[in-house]
C-alpha cells in the first residue's frame, strides 16, 4: 500500500478506515502488477495507466468502484451513471464482503477493460481493450 493511500485510509473514521485498509490490501494482493495512487482525491489502481478499481467515502458508505464493472455482469455490482461502463458496491462493513466474490471481481478488472486512458483523445468514445 502506498503512503498516500495509507494516509487516506487513516484519516477516515475507525470502521471506514478498517474497510478501506482491507480493500487496499485485497486489491494489492489480487493485482500486484497494478500501480496505485490518489487520483481525483481517492485511491485508484491502474493497469497500463488505465484505471480499473478504486474506492472512496460517500454518504452511502465506502464505494468500491470498477471502471469497467458494468461489463462484469455481476449481480451485486450496481451500474454507475450510464455514460461510462462503471459499476460499484457500497460497503458499510467488511462482513458484507465475500473473498471469493472480490477475487472474481478483481480478476475481471484485469481481464475486462474499456480504454479510459484515451477517452478524452477519442472525444468521449470508449473502446474495449480486453
What is the number of H-type helices and E-type strands within the chain?
3, 6
Contact 127, 117 (CB under 8 A): no
Question: Residue 79, SS3?
Answer: strand
User: Tell me, what's the pLDDT at 84?
Assistant: 86
pLDDT at residue 51 tops 80: yes
Distance (Å, whole) CA 107 – CA 115: 17
pTM of the model: 0.94
Question: pLDDT value at position 81?
Answer: 72
Number of C-beta neighbours around residue 82 at 10 A:
8
Is the model's pLDDT at 130 over the cut of 70?
no
| pLDDT at residue 75, as a whole number | 95
DSSP state of 69: G
Does residue 60 or residue 3 have the better pLDDT? 3
Q: Mean pLDDT in the chain?
A: 95
Amino acid at each position: 500500500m502506498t503512503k498516500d493511500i495509507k494516509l487516506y485510509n487513516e484519516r477516515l473514521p475507525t470502521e471506514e478506515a478498517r474497510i478501506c485498509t482491507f480493500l487496499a490490501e485485497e486489491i494489492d494482493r489480487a493485482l500486484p502488477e497494478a500501480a496505485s495512487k490518489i487520483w481525483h482525491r481517492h485511491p485508484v489502481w491502474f493497469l497500463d495507466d488505465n484505471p480499473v478499481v478504486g474506492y472512496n467515502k460517500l454518504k452511502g458508505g465506502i464505494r468500491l468502484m470498477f471502471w469497467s464493472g458494468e461489463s462484469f455482469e455481476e449481480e451485486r455490482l450496481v451500474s454507475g451513471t450510464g455514460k461510462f461502463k462503471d459499476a460499484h458496491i457500497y460497503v458499510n462493513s467488511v462482513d458484507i464482503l465475500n473473498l471469493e466474490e472480490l477475487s472474481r471481481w478483481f480478476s475481471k478488472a484485469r481481464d475486462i477493460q474499456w480504454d479510459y486512458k484515451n477517452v478524452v483523445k477519442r472525444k468521449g468514445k470508449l473502446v474495449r481493450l480486453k
